[in-house]
Structure 1
């Protein structure tokens, strides 16, 4: 365990230096939600039944979760880049714990995400979003958000290790953008066709978005929803736990073999 901790810290430092030297992907990932908040909040907000300011309060938690889900794309691209440029081969020649490499990447991504979320929160406050729930609930919301980001990053790392090229990873990662669109991140799902509503409510993003809206005090839990949305905190923890429990061991196993 001490070897894993030491090697993990080393890998975290390596990943943070990597982001510092090539910040483009991280900056793009953080600027996109801000642009979407301004666009959706002021353009689409006026077209929905709820007033614009209320929609922006509804939208901010969804964009926070969409940003967390972006860990799939980031994790995939970075893991594929290391794999196909021979970095993973060099790591395997070193006396490193196999689990330290994917864990280090995921933890470093978590640090970058925690810092990068601040601009979105500040813009959200500027356009009218407020934390209306108690402080402990808001802290729990942030914890759930970071847990989900970690889970999404482990999914991305596994997929990145499985891809055949960097280009394939980039194309597959970009397609993950559709996941928030098939959820309640941007619009309420109550008026969707039954089959589409069911699909959206079993999307892990919907459970976490509902949990954040409830914990921040921005919107109540909708009635007559699928189990993950009707019990959003438990659903969010369950989804994140399952994704980590499945994908992290598989990523370590794939790293040993790739």
Structure 2
């Protein structure tokens, strides 16, 4: 068996380990799914009428507007769980034991990443299902749906590698649970909940140039037909940059551990 085939076999074993771990400890998965759903319902039914009036369509317009931001928040929330699981592995000695076994070193990180990506995409599917139930009405074609899913998947992979790196650098699982918290705030400080042109000048500048805004605008444009402009290219560039830097950071940290 070639080295590549061995690495693929070891990686699939680690992915199964992560998926079984999610099934055995469902409380975190449920929490990571419930949090964005609760925020979605609160914003739509408590603030949606007022905020939607500013968009010119009331609550129905607001639920369409806010869903892309909630989807990115769901991924950022799940990043917390990934960081905690990685920090737990690093602090409890299981990684040290893996190092004594004849397995691919890359498979340990691959298992965390693939397992987390699956978890996040399933969580996003739940959010979309709830959004459809409360009035979300996208007009995307099948091709546009696939493009939106591809954009979200690219974002999820990038943010997962970042959460893996943060988890490996955290001294304890408790510290790891706080490390990705700023990511959850970025949809609020972007175009996730209100248009950026309604913000004060300094905050608007930050909102327009931070990485989450072009990603949300791209997903919004694909699903709802709003203008995308250069946002798609910028969003892809942000995702590839964050993913590449985070991967190298995580790999270097793992090799030195």
TM value normalised by structure 2: 0.92
8 Å CA contact 1:154–1:244 kept in 2: the answer is yes
- Structure-2 separation of matches of 1:45 and 1:148: 27
User: Is 2:78 the counterpart of 1:108?
Assistant: no
Question: Which residue in the other structure is 2:94 paired with?
Answer: 87
Match of 1:3 among 6, 11, 22: 6
Q: Which moved more, 1:174-183 or 1:102-111?
A: 174-183
- Structure-1 separation of matches of 2:232 and 2:217: 8
Q: CA RMSD in A?
A: 1.5
User: Is 2:122 the counterpart of 1:123?
Assistant: no
8 Å CA contact 1:69–1:205 kept in 2: the answer is no
Question: Which residue in the other structure is 1:64 paired with?
Answer: 71
CA deviation after TM superposition for structure 1 residue 20, in Å:
0.5
CA deviation after TM superposition for structure 1 residue 218, in Å:
5.2
Question: Which residue in the other structure is 2:27 paired with?
Answer: 24
CA deviation after TM superposition for structure 1 residue 245, in Å:
1.1
8 Å CA contact 2:63–2:136 kept in 1: the answer is yes
Aligned residue-pair number: 250
Task: Flag structure 2 segments of 5+ consecutive residues without an equivalent.
Answer: none
- Structure-1 separation of matches of 2:102 and 2:234: 39
8 Å CA contact 2:190–2:196 kept in 1: the answer is yes
CA deviation after TM superposition for structure 1 residue 72, in Å:
3.0
8 Å CA contact 1:92–1:256 kept in 2: the answer is no
- Map 1:112-191 onto structure 2 (within 5 A): 112-191=119-198
CA deviation after TM superposition for structure 1 residue 195, in Å:
1.9
- Map 1:203-242 onto structure 2 (within 5 A): 203-217=210-224, 219-221=226-228, 230-242=229-241
Which digits, 9 at most, give the CA deviation of each residue in 1:49-70, with x for residues without a partner? 1311100010111111211223
Match of 2:202 among 166, 176, 195: 195
Which digits, 9 at most, give the CA deviation of each residue in 1:197-229, with x for residues without a partner? 1211222211111001100025334xxxxxxxx
TM value normalised by structure 1: 0.91
- Structure-1 separation of matches of 2:44 and 2:225: 15
Task: Flag structure 1 segments of 5+ consecutive residues without an equivalent.
Answer: 222-229
